Amino acid sequence: MLNILDYTSICDNAATLEMIYIVKTVLNILKIAAPIFLIILSMLDVVRMVTNANMDQTAQSGRILKRMFSAVLIFLLASIIDLVFNVVGIPSLPSTQCWNEATKETVEVLKQAEKEAELAKEEERLQSAKDKEQEEYENRFEDYDDEPGYNAKSTAQKVVDFSKQFIGAPYNYGGPRAVDNPNAIFSPGTDCSGFISILYKHFGYDVGTYTGNMCYMGERITSIDDLKVGDILCTGAAPTYSHVVMYVGRLKNGEGESSGVADGVPAVIHASNSAPFPSGGVKYTPLSSYSNAPMIRRLV
């Protein structure tokens, strides 16, 4: 069977459709008109037979029977052919309608293509925004290894220096920790132990990922008077503890201003609760707020 209604081919069979449409139209006309015409002729012959007694009645009757038979035959043949078309599935459809259907199909295809193009454009825009955000995050990292005397600094001092660029980053409880990409501190943000773990991970040190294990790493410092930069102070109840901060030394050059800590004040840096910065997020806090910390550890 011909797939005449395959509109996705944009009416490749339009000529066939037109031919079939004409044939079926002619058959439908013949099925009605021809029998009526023959019946009318037969009726006229009957009238002539009745009014003309000298007419050859036998020959005239034969003509009438032939016409009646032809009328019935034409009607039956046309009906059978039309029935065959319907059974086979060949439609009665003019090419103009085919093109109308093809146009509808084309419009739908174009609408779908336009929709897909809009989705692709939106995905591209989101990816571009994401790449731009990533670039901005990366640009915030300072190249500390270009500073004079950088290599002579202790690892703890390098960690402290590196940590200072994250002031203002958001707090995210249970956020990423011990990952190779420090951008996670900015987005999606991290919590107190995650912050410390990412900083040390950046310099190749695994210092644990949660307060409960981080606060048992490295060397224990028994007195706050022996505190050095990079040391961590743990608060809360052992063995899990609830919060961890890192000592950064005395602040200078206004670096603690955004956190509300003055120059010359010994301070710690930490990711503090979920309130907006400077109440929360990565911030400086005076060391005096943690002078009674029950656990102090030197990680490197």
Confidence at residue 113, expressed as pLDDT on a 0 to 100 scale: 81
pLDDT tens digits, residue range 20-73?
777 777 777 877 887 788 788 778 877 777 777 666 767 767 777 787 777 788
Predicted confidence band at 10 (pLDDT cuts at 50, 70, 90)?
A: very low
> Using CA atoms, how far apart are residues 151 and 28, in angstroms rounded to an integer?
99
> Is residue 88 scored above 70 in pLDDT?
no
Structure tokens at 132: 């731009």
206-231 average pLDDT score: 94
- What's the order of all strands across the beta sheet hosting 219-220? 219-220, 295-298, 232-235, 243-250, 266-272, 281-286
Asked whether residue 183 carries a pLDDT value surpassing 70, the answer given is: yes
Q: Decide: 160 and 255 in contact? Cβ < 8 Å.
A: no
Cis status, amide bond into 94, omega within 30 of 0: no
What is the spatial distance between Cα 231 and Cα 286, in angstroms, rounded to a whole number? Answer: 15
Q: Using H for helix, E for strand and C for coil, what is the string for 111-146?
A: HHHHHHHHHHHHHHHHHHHHHHHHHHHHHCCCCHHH
Classify domain 154-298 at the CATH topology level.
Answer: endopeptidase fold (from Nostoc punctiforme) (3.90.1720)
Output the average pLDDT for the chain: 81
Residue 34 has a pLDDT of 76
Q: Please, which residues bridge with residue 272 across strands? A: 281
Residues 231-274: tens digit of each pLDDT: 999 999 999 999 999 999 999 999 999 999 999 999 999 999 98
Under the banding of pLDDT at 50, 70 and 90, the label for residue 136 is: low
- pLDDT at res. 47: 77
Residue 106 has pLDDT above 90, yes or no: no
- What is the band of 6 on the pLDDT scale with cuts at 50, 70, 90? very low
Whether the model pTM is above 0.95: no
pLDDT of 15 > 90? The answer is: no
Place of tokens 């897909």: 116
Q: What is the DSSP letter of 170?
A: P
- The predicted pLDDT at position 277 comes to 93
Q: How confident is the model at residue 90 (pLDDT cuts 50, 70, 90)?
A: low
